[in-house]
Structure 1
């Protein structure tokens, strides 16, 4: 290390979520000015051996936290709503599949 240079660890917190062939990393980091930002990384195995990965990264800065959070919350609520309506539709169609129309 050169004289006068300080080592700096800008990572404040990290959370990894494993999901099949993918791993998602949520990393809170700080800038030199001590502002916090979030990086979201998707890491996906490219080979069955798991020795090569494809990575995609999003940087989310403090001025966008609220808008991103609101948008994500809205989208997740919509997914829940759509799943519930799909489940109802599937249950209804399953019920109809059990009906023998010749017996009516």
Structure 2
């Protein structure tokens, strides 16, 4: 736990019981989606991005970024994220990670498999 996490846990008394969690790895990052219960028994979502970092002294630490999403904001959040994803999909050429990398399950050792031989023709 870093200093920021300690500070949040000390100053954020609403963070209580963890109800549900789901996560996925994306390269060097791991994303956690946690449902927690406030003292008032209402649920909220914590989205955490965690990145493993190597310090100069050789020690590994996890850098974490948190987003707290409360029930009254769910619909607005979902609308905004869907609009944003639709925009990116509509304006960027679609590339699948399986087309770009040999092993998309372990993207820490990324090996591009793109073939540029036909560019000289």
Range into which the TM-score falls when normalised by the shorter chain:
0.5 to 0.7
Q: How far, CA to CA, are the matches of 2:48 and 2:86 in structure 1? A: 23
Aligned-residue CA RMSD in angstroms? 2.4
Q: Give me the TM-score of the superposition, normalised by structure 1.
A: 0.67
Q: How far, CA to CA, are the matches of 1:15 and 1:71 in structure 2? A: 21
Q: Residue 73 in 1 paired to residue 82 in 2?
A: yes
Structure 1 residues 16-95: aligned runs within 5 Å? 16-47=23-54, 51-84=60-93
Cα distance, 1:45 vs structure 2: 0.9
Q: Which runs of 5+ in 1 are unaligned?
A: 1-8, 86-96, 100-104
Partner of 1:10: 17
Cα distance, 1:33 vs structure 2: 1.6
Larger Rg computed on CA atoms: 1
Greater shift, 75-84 or 36-45, is seen at: 75-84
Cα distance, 1:83 vs structure 2: 1.7
Q: Which runs of 5+ in 2 are unaligned?
A: 1-15, 95-118
